[in-house]
Amino acid sequence: MPQKPLKILQASAGSGKTFSLTAHYLTLLFAGETRYREILAVTFTNKATEEMKSRILQVLRGLALGDKNVGIFRNIILNAHPHFTEQTLQQQAFATYRRILHDYSRFSINTIDGFVQKVIRSFTFELGLDAGYRLEMNTDKVKRELAVKLNQQLDQKPGLLRWIIDLALERIRDDKNWNYHETLIDLAGELFKERYQPFENALKAHDPEVLFKDLQKAVKEIIAFFEETVTEQARKAYATFSASEVQLAELKGKSRSPLASLEKVMDGDFAKVVNLGKLVDQPEEWQKDGPKGDVAALYNELNPQLSALYSFYTSETPAYLMSKAIDANLYYLRLMQEMAGLLKDYRQENSVLLISDAQNLLKGITGGQDDNPSFIWEKMGNRYRHFLFDEFQDTSAFQWQNFLPLLKNAIAEANGALIDHLIVGDVKQSIYRWRNGDWRILHTHAKKHVGDLRVHDDVLLENYRSAANVIDFNNFVFQYAPDFLQAHINAKVMEDGGDVLFHEWWKTEGYDDVINAAYGQSSQQKAPSTLPGGSVEVCFLPTGDNRNRAGDVREAALEKMACTLNDWISSGAYQPGQVCILVRSNREAREVIEHLMRDQQRRETSANNNEIFVPYEVLSGEALLVANHSVIRLLVNTLQAMVARKKDGAIFKATAIYLYNKLHNRTVVPGLWIRLNELEPGQLAGYLPPLLCENWHTWQQLPLPELVEQLIGAYGVGLFTDNIPYLLAFRDMVSVFTRLGERGITTFLTWWEEEGQQKSLPSSGQNDAVQVMTIHKSKGLAFDVVMLPFCSWSLDGMANSIFWVDTADTPYAMLNSVPVHYKKSLGKSAFAKAYFEELLFNFMDALNMLYVATTRTRNHLYITAPAANDDNLGLVGDLLLKSLQLHASALPGEFNGERFEVIAPVKQPPPAAAANSWSFIHYPLSNRLNESLTDHQVLEQLDLLSGNTAQRRGVILHELLARSARIEELRAVTQKMMTEGWFRKTEEPEILELAESVMLQPDLRKILDNPYERFNEQTIISGAGKSYRPDKVLVGKDHVVIVDFKFTGEPKPGHYSQVEEYRGLLLEMGYRNIEAYLYYGYLKELKVV
């Protein structure tokens, strides 16, 4: 039976997603040796790209070597390709592995942005791009520059100043700092989002000044018409009421009668019309037993007026509230228009293409869904027949629109032999909506767009990450929490949007069950490897009056977290490196770190000698910033001092002196700081390295990479192992900066301020330190212990935040879309559908964040959340509390209303043997030009080009013998070297004869003829980062032989020390019983070393 061409695989946390992707790729790969050229695998981060490439090549290598550890992949491939035997599979794996390594650029595993850039590069001319355009990845830098440029225009544009004032006043009304600069940066950020695109299209299609003039006129007219009409009708109704002799005391409710609201409506409180609506056509609401006497007369006269008022209010309120929302943001729209103009100028002035432009440009290339994309492959030089998408829940609408025509075309060519395409994702882990991610594409759209009959749905059911109790707890939470949340939002839509909206739109769209559907397959099974036990602690902390529950418990949550962490580490229950504390934001991360530091200081100085305290380190993203390391600060301050004006240079010199002397545990005479501005660099030899002081002015003229190497050497910072990762990262950054040519110290420092100082080291997970990390950054990672101290984020997102709404079918359709403030009142406006969709997305974001956080843990999950004083769902922790209150009996463990606990420490299996790895002992200094003049390989090349015949012949013979494992290989190697230009064809017989005479020497042949594993001219990198290349290393069962050839007139002491270095390196690598020999070709002597 033919296979369906597309598999959509739902992969919950810890279910083996990477394994499935690798297996699917390999299954496709073995359909042909060059099939890798026809497969495009798409991921979302560079890290994921490298991990997938490494995993595939690792398995492929294992298959080529017959490794038993990849047996499960071998079985999968053999099942998919039954014509293979294990032997033929191994042969093809070997051939394919070599092909990929020699054709690596066609091994297409890319990020989405990387693939888009390849396409755009191929269509530079068609898109009208400058051939020398530069891709700008740093949107933060662009946003800052746009905000600065906007500020610079305030003097020239009075209207702009007025809009800025409006912005500042709004910040004050919202109890925020009046400084609007950060808001301008956020506003600039909207220009890079997909949801801004329709508004930009409107700006391009109309004259912006005319557009905004018409918009303002329409807004003001609708608002004025509504307010004047309601006020006038309320005034007339009040006049009728006043003219009667009826008093409020005679009416039902007396002073609380709805008629008391008329004055408030006249004063502008239009929402009070809803109260008046209770009286319309309801005589029993006027008096208990119905209106009598004067009240009856009033009813007959006033009821029609109230009915007209209420009818007008209910019919026109949606348009009014919509117009009020737009009116409140008119200044925002004008600022955005100004920003858009500045962004256009920025692109042209800097000849850049922003990464956010790429998807929009690609839309113009891929065309409609039914277009044939073959012309794209012709331009690119690649034709992809198979597509694999990872983390598909984070795909944006634009990205899907661009890939869909390519995917549909490839699906149309499928032959049914294999499942040609794979989409892998998990709606529950969609937490990047702020990056344009749209989980609905994975949930329903992809299948609908491709066609149900072409899609095979599959689910990964087993959890290979967590211990049994942790799996049970997460299954429990995400069985009940989605149901509570779905019921909660359904009730909100019914209450605020009304019955018609709920049934005719909400239910029709399937939103009334979408959260339950997204989490319908969240329950995971235990894998055969699942460890028994596992611990879960959830504590609900008492709160105040429910107004700010998250803030009420902040300090208590921090204190409880610190105490628990100290108990674990002091008792030896967990090592610091096993624990990760997850938070929502960088601000929360700083709170956690500062509290843990204070807690450690307090415990260290505590007079209570009975308290056990074991200090531990805390590692965060900020700690991994390259710019924050003292050694990098030392280097950067030195560079700044070198180019600063004399009056400004003292502060940089002072910082460099302080950091250098602190590094080497030296003190500085206080009087130096006063005189520093007067002293020349040459006079600072007692406080800075003498070599730096002597060469200060000379080094200023060096190329930047060489200058940095000289500074590292002079300061001696490369001798400290802890500094090496930061120094290597800094050197890489300097290298990347100078890739397009030398641009000098000043330009580098500007780049450093704008971009470089934001770079971080990747966390290796090898540090024995407590990690503090945002939930977003933890995605894809796993930890033995996860602490979630602030399980208190709002379900309903951030009040007053900006979101975009479609203006189709409104009086403002010419705008396409507009940004409005997220407020509850929008639920009763003409933007109600957009508001309730945003509400749904906020709820899903909140629940998904909880899912990602709780599924990072292997063995122990710790959570603190605010307690609730009522049944309302406001914070994410309320979902946990309600689930436990109603269904805790379904779990192992105990729940007393305030705390749930199941403690069953996991018995860890012994750690697997560490993979072979190496590390630097010292920083590998590279003095480049200076070092190149002493490199033995360069000297050999110089000898080859020199006129000295003996030296030249010695170099050739040395290379020939080093490359040849046996005498039988000499002829082939000689011919290859001749074609490479080492010697002329006429010299070949003589060279071959000399080489054979050497290889036939009895002592040497006795060594070379043994059945060794041979390594000819293979590089060995030492712990200090230096490279060594022995001519031959012969590895036997119980011993190793080193042979080095020399073609000099006489032995030299340096020859022996060189071979001794080789022996030492092999000993460090774990080899034993090492024999070492020097063979002097001209002397025909074999020397034992």
- List the 39-43 sheet strands across, edge first: 109-111, 39-43, 386-389, 421-425, 6-11, 455-460
CA distance 164 to 233: 37
Token output for 719: 């001798």
The residue with tokens 């398995």 is: 59
How far is the first Cα of the chain from the last one, in angstroms, to the nearest whole number?
Answer: 69
Residue 384, number of CB atoms within 10 A of its CB: 20
118 is annotated as contributing to ligand binding: no
Helix (H, G, I), strand (E, B) or coil at 548: coil
Say which DSSP state 719 is in: G
Helix (H, G, I), strand (E, B) or coil at 986: helix
Burial of 617 (0-12, 13-18, 19+ CB in 10 A): middle
Tell me if 534 sits within 8 A of 469, measured CB to CB. Answer: yes
Question: Residues with Cβ < 8 Å from 987, sequence gap 6 or more?
Answer: none
CA distance 112 to 258: 60
CA distance 343 to 143: 9
CA distance 1037 to 1071: 11
Read off the amino acid at residue 882.
Answer: K
Tell me if 436 sits within 8 A of 358, measured CB to CB. Answer: no
The residue with tokens 């991610």 is: 437
- Beta strand pairing call for 617-620 and 783-788: unpaired
The beta strands (E) that lie in 931-1088 are given as 1013-1016, 1020-1021, 1027-1028, 1032-1035, 1040-1046, 1074-1080, 1085-1088
CA distance 208 to 216: 12
17 is annotated as contributing to ligand binding: yes
16 is annotated as contributing to ligand binding: yes
- SS3 string, 741-753, reads CCCHHHHHHHHHH
Tell me if 15 sits within 8 A of 463, measured CB to CB. Answer: yes
- List the 899-902 sheet strands across, edge first: 617-620, 769-774, 579-583, 783-788, 857-866, 535-541, 899-902, 894-895
Residue-wise burial string across 870-888, b where 16 or more C-beta atoms lie within 10 A, e elsewhere: eeebbbbbbbbbbbbeeee
The residue with tokens 């290339």 is: 365
Residue 956, number of CB atoms within 10 A of its CB: 23
Residue among 466, 528, 207, 208 nearest 337 (CA) = 208
Instruction: Kindly calculate the radius of gyration of the chain based on its CA atoms and give it in whole angstroms.
Output: 37
- List helix spans (H) across 81-136: 86-102, 112-122
Q: What's the chain's length in residues?
A: 1089
- List the 1085-1088 sheet strands across, edge first: 1013-1016, 1032-1035, 1040-1046, 1074-1080, 1085-1088
Residue among 190, 183, 157 nearest 169 (CA) = 183
Q: How far is CA 573 from CA 111, 579, 904, in A?
A: 40, 11, 12
CA distance 954 to 958: 6
13 is annotated as contributing to ligand binding: yes
18 is annotated as contributing to ligand binding: yes
Tell me if 594 sits within 8 A of 558, measured CB to CB. Answer: no
11 is annotated as contributing to ligand binding: yes
Please give the annotated binding residues, written as ranges: 11-18
Residue set of the binding site for ATP: 11-18
